[in-house]
Every structure is written in C-alpha cells, then in structure tokens.
Structure 1
Amino acid sequence: MLFNSYEFIFVFLPIVFFVYFYLNSKRLTVGAKGFLVFASLFFYSWWNVVYLPLILSSMLFNYVIGNSLAFDNKRGINKGFSKNTILTFGIVCNLALLGYFKYADFFILNLNLVTDIQVEPLNLLLPLAISFFTFQQIAYLVDSYRDETKEYDFLNYALFVTFFPQLIAGPIVHHKEMMPQFASKWNLVKNYRNIALGLFIFSLGLFKKVVIADTFAEWATNGFDRAVTLNLVEAWATSLSYTFQLYFDFSGYTDMAIGIALLFNIKLPINFNSPYKALDIQDFWRRWHITLSRFLRDYIYIPLGGNRKGNFRTYVNLMATFVIGGLWHGAGWTFVFWGFLHGVALCIHRVWQSIGFRLPKVIAWFITFNFVNIAWIFFRAKEWDDAVKVLSSMFSLDNVVLSPKLMFLTKVLEIDNIIYDRVFCISEEGNRVIIFLVFFFTIILFSKNSIVKLLLFKISFKSVIFSSFLFIYSVFQLTKVSEFLYFNF
C-alpha cells in the first residue's frame, strides 16, 4: 500500500489511528499494540500477500537469535555455543535470505557471461522492504550481542520491525530508539499538537512526491529510457531532473513517514537534511539517508577497522563500505560503480583534508553538487549504455542545440556547430522543464528544510490554510499513483 493513495489516506490510516487510540483509552494496551502489528502486516501484505510468511519467518528467527544473544552464555539455548558463533549464524542467515531474493539472478547472469554454463535465471520478484527489514534486524542482533538491547516479548519485537510508517523504506531504526516510545504512558493517548505537526509534515511530503517528484520523473524517464540521442541541454536537463526527482521523492517519503509516526506520538530519527547544500562528499553522506549512513558506519566501516589501522586500510575500508552500500541499493554493476565513485570521492576528500587545503564555500558546493549529480546517472541508468548516452552528451559540444533567440551567443562562445532550433525534442514542455529546474534549485538551496519547518511550526490560521492547500492540491494529483523510488531497494 502506498502512502500516496486514496485507500491509505482515506481508509487505512484513519481506521488504524482511531482503533489504536480507542483500545488504549480502554486500557487495552497489549490489544492496541497487537492491533498496530496486525495493521502493519496488512499494510505490508497489500502489495503481495505471498511474502507475508517471509517477513514473519524473518522476525521469528531474529527474535530467537536476539534473545539467545541477550542471555548469559550458560543459560537457555546459548549453552554450548559462543556469542560470536550465534551472531555469525544470525547475520549469515539474514544475508543469505537477502542474497537469494535480491542477488541470485545477478549472480547467475554474470556466471553465464564468464563461463560456458548457461543457468536459467530464477526471475524472482524482490519482496517489498526486504533490504530495510534485513538491515534493521542485523543491527538488532549486533546490538543484542553488545548487550545494548534486550527484548523478551515477541509482540514488542514485531512492532519494532513492522511499524508501518518506517517498514517499507526506512528510516533504519534501532530498537532502543523505538520501544521506549511505545512503552511511554504519555504516548498512549492522543496528542493534538503531534496530530497537527504530523498532518502538516505529511501534507508537505505528499506535495513533494505527487506534485514535484512525479513531474521531474516524466522528464527523467524521457531522457534515460525513451530518447535515442540527447543534445547538450537535454542531457543536463535529464540528469538534473532525476537528481531533483530523487531528492523530492525521498524527502517526500521521509516527511510522510515522520508525519504518520507523529500521529501515533512516535518520533522517527531524522533521515534527510538538505543534502544538496553539502560542501563536501562527507557532509553529503551526513545529510543523505542518514540512518543508512549510520548503519554503514557502525556495522561495516568500524568493524572492518575504520580509521584505526593506518591510512591504507582506512581507504580500503571506505571503498569496501561504499561498494557494499552501492550493491545494497540494487543488484547491478551500475549500482556497484555508483558506490565505487562515492568511495573514491571520500578517499580523495580524506587526502584533501589531511593536506589542510580549504576551498571557498561556493566552489566546494559546486564541485560536490556536480559530482553527486553525475554519480546519480549511474544510479538511475538501467543499462551502461543509458548512462553513457546521458553522460557523453553532457560534456560534448558536437550536438549543441539552442533557442533561435540565443543566436547572438555564436560569436561569444566561438563554437561553429551550434544549431538554433527546437531545444527539447524529448519533451513538449521545454520551457516548463527549465522553469521547474531553476525554481526548485532555488528552493533546495535557499529555503528551510522540512525538519526546520517542523521545529518552527505553530498552530495558526495561516498554517492550517497552508497545510490544507498542500493536502487538497496533492490529493487531486493522485490520479497517477506512483511508487516511491526507494521501494525498489
């Protein structure tokens, strides 16, 4: 079920909200918690009920392993097994499940390419949210191993894993972040300020998704998937359209998830903080998909040795972490290369820092943004040829098409092969593309982000009108329902 759908907004969410708080008002706390788990599993099953046993089995397995890690080695099922053995077994099983569904066909196709063996692909449909609930539960097992969390109630654990606002595309939460909130007696009753905050940020996220992101999506799809060739302007418009689509799509999802959770008095961790304002690549990863960055740092980079074993190992660990991060996003060499690019950029940034050089902020931002924009091309492209098509046209002067109104630029640019004709052959909305890119570029760079707006939010007539406008306008745009991009990962 999608957040940006009529059935979710007008049926599922209101029913879950009122039943949950009704049960709590009758002091049926366990019943309310059980209902929320049931509703979350229903939300998950709406997409494909076939995979409901998968998430249930995964939860039960990790609950048992987590409990065994939390117990003393001399007690219970830990007897005869070391904590290291149990943790390794749990992580391997989780990765095996993820690997089978997400990477089996990728492995088979590459095996067929390099050998004479022709294995038939399994053509498995990727279970929704498997990457997110797998990483979340791996983090839980490691936290249990470290004695940082203990959970002996399966219902509590099920709620931690399945809580529907963050189930499908994050944020990747820790047990210690969530369960104290569900246990708090103050969170068991309706909080009208939280409701107002939740509706405000949900409306903002909905607007970002269905009005802004889905508009850029059409132009990005035209350039990447439909156009055979691109001129210089079309190529830049294509790459920037996807860069902005991903920004507003992911930012919109994050806002909606935060808003829905606030309705239930739950505060999800910040997962998105104006990443395109970053002045270096390290700063970018402190702002983009913050909980994934936290996971990669705490459960991959640091266990590999982090920066504690010399410069060479530090660079190797950075590269390994981001190649894994790229592969986590998708089973394809374009994703691996995207992760590799970011790993290289972080290594270069570390060297740059060690030398002590500092660039002016404008230049630092310009380099960072353009690197991120170029790297996103490989993230978006379905095939290498699509990435090469866009990237080569962005930096080629062999196919420059400008509006006839700009004919005076010929002498200024000293380029002989400029064609003055219709610029956007891949879209009927050439002027609108440029206007949207310029306008939302300005919004991204100079406006307050959603988190700041949430902190500054005050219930007033003006805020009610603003939220209502965003919500109503967005609802009228729901005729073209589309998935969030991170549902694919």
Structure 2
Amino acid sequence: MLFNSYIFIFAFLPLTFFVYFFLNKKRMTELAKAFLVFASLFFYSWWNVLYLPLILSSMLINFALGKQLSTKAAKLQGSRKAVLIFGIIFNVALLGYFKYTDFFLENFNFVFGTQIELLKLALPLAISFFTFQQIAYLVDSYRRETKEYDFLTYALFVSFFPQLIAGPIVHHAEMMPQFARLKNRLINYANILMGLFIFSIGLFKKVVIADTFAIWVKHGFDNMPSLELITGWTTSLAYTFQLYFDFSGYCDMAIGAALLFNIKLPINFNSPYKSLDIQDFWRRWHITLGRFLRDYVYIPLGGSRAGNSRFSNLFFTCSNLFITFLIGGIWHGAGWTFVIWGALHGIALVIHRLWQSVGLKLPKILAWFITFNFVNFAWVFFRANSVDDALKVIKGMLGLNGINYEQYKFLRSAFRAEALHDGIHIFLYFLAASFIITLAGKTSSQIVKNKENIYYTIAFCVLFILGVFFMSVSKYSEFIYFNF
C-alpha cells in the first residue's frame, strides 16, 4: 500500500484516523493503541504477509533486550554490555542475512571460482530502517536514557505506519512520550490542517515532479546503451532531482500523516541542495540517518578526539569519517555501486576536514557549485544497476561519446509532445523549476510556520487536486527508498 495510492488516501488513512480517535473518545486508550498497532502491521503486511513474523519477532526480542538493559536490577556492567553486544549482533545479523548474503556469495564465487548457489532472498520491506531504529533503542537503554514502557507502546514506536517503511529513523524519546500525552488522544484540527497540507506537498513532489523525472532517468540509465555529453548530464541531473523529490516527498507525506494523529516526526530534509560543503549537505540530507551514523557509529569509533596530538586527532577523525560513510553506503544496498557511493562521500568529507584544518575558504558560489556537482556525480553510482552502468553515464558526462541529438527522440512520446523540441522544452522546464524550488523555495515545515490557515486550505486543495490528477493518468510507482 503506497502513500500515493487511492486505497491509502481514501480508505486506509481516513478509516484508521476515525477508528483511533473514536476509541480514544470512548476512553478505550489501550484498545485505541492496539488498533493503531494492528493497522500499522496491516499496512506493513499489505506488500507481503510473510514479512509480518519477521518484524514481530524482531520487536519482541529487542523489547526484551531493551527491558533488560534499562532495568535497575541489571547492575553488573559486564552483563549489561554483553546483552547490548548480543542485541547489536542479532540486529546486524538479521539485516545482513536478508540483505547481504547473496552479495557475499557472488563475490566469494568470483574470487575463489566456486559455484555456490545464491539464496535469492527477498529483501523484507523496511528492514534497514526498523533495524537501525531498534539498535538505537538498545544503545539508549544501555545508557539508561529510556523509560519503562509496555510492549504495546514499544510496538507502536517501531511499527507506526507513517514512518515504518522508509523513516525518518526516530528515537524512543521523540515518539513514546507523544503517545502518552492526554491531549494527543483528542482530535486537533490545527494539526489536521497542517498535516493534510504537508501530505499534499509530498504527494505533489512525488507524483508530479519525481515521477516525471523518472521517465528520463529510466531511459538514460536502463534503456540507452551509451550516452553523449548532454544526455549524460541531463540523465544525472534528472536522477538528482528525482531522488530529492521522491524521498523528501515521502518524508513530507509521513510527517503529514503522523500529524493527523498528533504525532510530530523529526524533519528529515532542510534544503540540502543549498549546501556550501559536503558536511553541510549531510546536516541537511536524510537528517535522521546522518544523526544515527554520527551518534552510533562515528562517535563510538572515537569521533574527532581519538588521538593525543593534533596530527593524530586529524588522522583518526578522517579515518572515522571514512569508515562511517562507507558503512552508510553499505547500509543503503548490497552492491559495489553503494560501496563506491559511500566511499566517495567518505573521501569528500575527509578532504573537507583537511581543507578546514588549514583554514581555507572558497567563495560561496564556487563552494556551492563544487558541492552540488560532487553530489550529482556521486548519485550516478547510487542509481546505477552496476558499476558498468555508472561508468556509461559518467563517460557521457565527460563527453567521451560526443554529442548526438538522435538520443532525444524518445522525449516526444514520453511527454506526449507534438514535436521533438516540445518534448525537450517540457523536460528543461521541469529541470529549471526544480533548481528554483530546491535553491530558492522553502521547506514544508518553513511554509506552515509563516502562513495563515486559509492559505494552507487553498494550497492543500490545489496541490491535492493536481496530485490526484497526475495519479489518475499514470501508474503508481514505489518510492525509491523502499528498495533499501
């Protein structure tokens, strides 16, 4: 069940909303909570009911481990640490088995010339996200930063449907207390208005902008045997904006849907393509993932204080940065393209840290230009199905195949244009509009802070109608991060 589907918008979401608040109004609080857990698990099982036992067993085991870590009876530091290590290994092993087994076997066969049969495991939906979320819970419990909660509340924390499939990755302290507040059990019309408005912005981003770019992206990456200079750049730029509007659209829809239930999810995007350096980019892009990598990977590795001298500090800082983002790349997918993407960002952050250490600065325009183009270049590996596919696009971007206008012919049919130049113009309009939106526009959270309710209503109606219209003339498409 997709956020951008009719069944979610017109059936699942309103039905879940009304039943949840009806039960709360009748003061059946625990039943309302149980219903929301049931609805979330039903939402999760819509793709494949076989995923259900996996997430349920994961929640049960992690809840038991977290309870053991946080209880006052667990006084022995050694035993608590052993429980934490077991919990982390369990979660990583679960993720690794489903996500990386075939990748490991493929490379083992290649290196040693063996022919071990691949398991061809289906990747369980959302496993990367709920695994990281529960690892964070265990670590926080070990640090005694969690409170005692019953399993039903914990299950709601993990399975709450707006953030279940592709984040944001949330902390227990951000979510659990919100469900316990009495005022959150009552319908809040201001939150409904803001939630519908933010949801509509996300719907518009996904079905109007991202899915339009997807036409060009698929053609350039998957259908064309080679790319020339202009098609190389337009293919990479199309994916750069498709990914942004697809994932930021999902996060807006998640935040909007959660607000209907009086739950505020953390912001995951803050105009990342405005960044003037790669560190700033990661403070703005997929903020909750960056926060997780910082708090639960980078800092435990030693962070920026791992040596006894300035030189050793710098060396270990750079090493920790590289390792952290290499792990971030591997987390996204089982393939060498993701390893390369993570390594590229790790190297970029190392260069930025070295640049900072000597006190050098670039003019803002040049700094933005370098940062944006690096991000655009690295996204090629993120999208490509193989390293060869990525090199195909990069060769085109470097002009190694010259210029060939024949490659634009598909735009005429793709955009239902009467002539080739009309199709090119439509694409260029989308590209220019995307630059303007990402560089000069405000985020959804900024918009709702500065506008009156009447403007929310008008904008909601316009965006919603446009979004539904585009849904009616195109097939539903999954969000990109569903694959991770």
Question: Match of 2:338?
Answer: 335
Question: Match of 1:324?
Answer: 327
SS in structure 1 opposite 2:453? coil
Instruction: Give the Å deviation of 1:465.
Output: 2.4
Q: Distance in 2 between matches of 1:91 and 1:455?
A: 39
Deviations 1:233-252 (Å, cap 9, x if unpaired)? 11110000000000000110
Gaps of 5+ in 1: 402-420
Is 1:313 matched with 2:328?
no
Q: Which amino acid aligns with 2:183?
A: W
Instruction: Give the Å deviation of 1:398.
Output: 4.6
TM-score for both structures, normalised by structure 2? 0.94
Q: Which amino acid aligns with 2:331?
A: W
Instruction: Give the Å deviation of 1:279.
Output: 0.4
Is 1:434 matched with 2:428?
yes
Out of 399, 402, 405, the residue aligned to residue 402 of structure 2 is: 399
SS in structure 2 opposite 1:199? helix
Instruction: Give the Å deviation of 1:426.
Output: 4.7
Instruction: Give the Å deviation of 1:316.
Output: 1.0
Question: Match of 1:174?
Answer: 171
Q: Distance in 2 between matches of 1:74 and 1:235?
A: 58
Alignment of 1:142-221 (within 5 A): 142-221=139-218
Q: Distance in 2 between matches of 1:459 and 1:471?
A: 16
Q: Distance in 1 between matches of 2:148 and 2:271?
A: 35
Q: Distance in 2 between matches of 1:23 and 1:352?
A: 58
Question: Match of 1:486?
Answer: 481
Instruction: Give the Å deviation of 1:427.
Output: 2.9
Q: Distance in 2 between matches of 1:116 and 1:251?
A: 43
Question: Match of 2:255?
Answer: 258
Out of 212, 226, 230, the residue aligned to residue 227 of structure 2 is: 230
Q: Which amino acid aligns with 1:447?
A: G
Q: Which amino acid aligns with 2:456?
A: S
SS in structure 2 opposite 1:477? helix
1:266/1:82 Cα in 2 relative to 1: closer, same or farther (>3 Å)? same
Q: Which amino acid aligns with 1:185?
A: L
CA contact (8 A) 2:100 2:334 kept: yes
SS in structure 2 opposite 1:448? coil
Question: Match of 2:357?
Answer: 354
Which contiguous aligned blocks of 4+ residues in structure 1 show a shift greater than 6 angstroms?
none
CA contact (8 A) 2:277 2:371 kept: yes
Out of 458, 461, 466, the residue aligned to residue 473 of structure 1 is: 466
Question: Match of 2:42?
Answer: 42
Question: Match of 2:441?
Answer: 447
Question: Match of 1:380?
Answer: 383
Deviations 1:158-197 (Å, cap 9, x if unpaired)? 0000000000000000001101111111111000000000
Q: Which moved more, 1:134-143 or 1:353-362?
A: 353-362
Q: Distance in 1 between matches of 2:401 and 2:5?
A: 45
Instruction: Give the Å deviation of 1:397.
Output: 5.6
Structure with greater proportional helix content: 2
SS in structure 2 opposite 1:427? helix
CA contact (8 A) 1:223 1:426 kept: no
Q: Which amino acid aligns with 1:424?
A: Y
Q: CA RMSD in A?
A: 1.3
1:80/1:469 Cα in 2 relative to 1: closer, same or farther (>3 Å)? closer
Q: Distance in 1 between matches of 2:73 and 2:87?
A: 16
Alignment of 1:90-101 (within 5 A): 90-101=87-98
Q: Which amino acid aligns with 2:61?
A: F
Out of 127, 133, 136, the residue aligned to residue 136 of structure 1 is: 133
Instruction: Give the Å deviation of 1:312.
Output: 1.2
Q: Distance in 2 between matches of 1:145 and 1:74?
A: 10
Instruction: Give the Å deviation of 1:114.
Output: 0.3
Is 1:370 matched with 2:346?
no
Q: Distance in 2 between matches of 1:347 and 1:450?
A: 32
Instruction: Give the Å deviation of 1:431.
Output: 2.2
Deviations 1:352-393 (Å, cap 9, x if unpaired)? 111111111111000000000000000000011111111011
Is 1:457 matched with 2:457?
no
Instruction: Give the Å deviation of 1:457.
Output: 3.1
Deviations 1:397-440 (Å, cap 9, x if unpaired)? 65124xxxxxxxxxxxxxxxxxxx55614533222222211121
Deviations 1:87-130 (Å, cap 9, x if unpaired)? 00000000000000000000000000001321100001100000
SS in structure 1 opposite 2:411? coil
CA contact (8 A) 1:234 1:426 kept: no
Deviations 1:60-92 (Å, cap 9, x if unpaired)? 0000000000113557xxx89611100000000
CA contact (8 A) 1:233 1:423 kept: no
Instruction: Give the Å deviation of 1:30.
Output: 0.6
Out of 408, 413, 420, the residue aligned to residue 424 of structure 1 is: 408
Fraction of identical pairs, as percent: 65
Q: Distance in 1 between matches of 2:329 and 2:50?
A: 28
1:37/1:161 Cα in 2 relative to 1: closer, same or farther (>3 Å)? same
CA contact (8 A) 1:227 1:426 kept: no
Question: Match of 2:71?
Answer: 71
Q: Which amino acid aligns with 2:468?
A: V
SS in structure 1 opposite 2:303? coil
Deviations 1:256-294 (Å, cap 9, x if unpaired)? 000001000110011111000000000000000000000
Q: Distance in 2 between matches of 1:74 and 1:240?
A: 53
TM-score for both structures, normalised by structure 1? 0.93
Gaps of 5+ in 2: 307-312, 413-422
Q: Which moved more, 1:24-33 or 1:421-430?
A: 421-430
Count, aligned residues: 466
CA contact (8 A) 1:206 1:252 kept: yes
Question: Match of 1:409?
Answer: none
1:188/1:276 Cα in 2 relative to 1: closer, same or farther (>3 Å)? same
SS in structure 2 opposite 1:286? helix
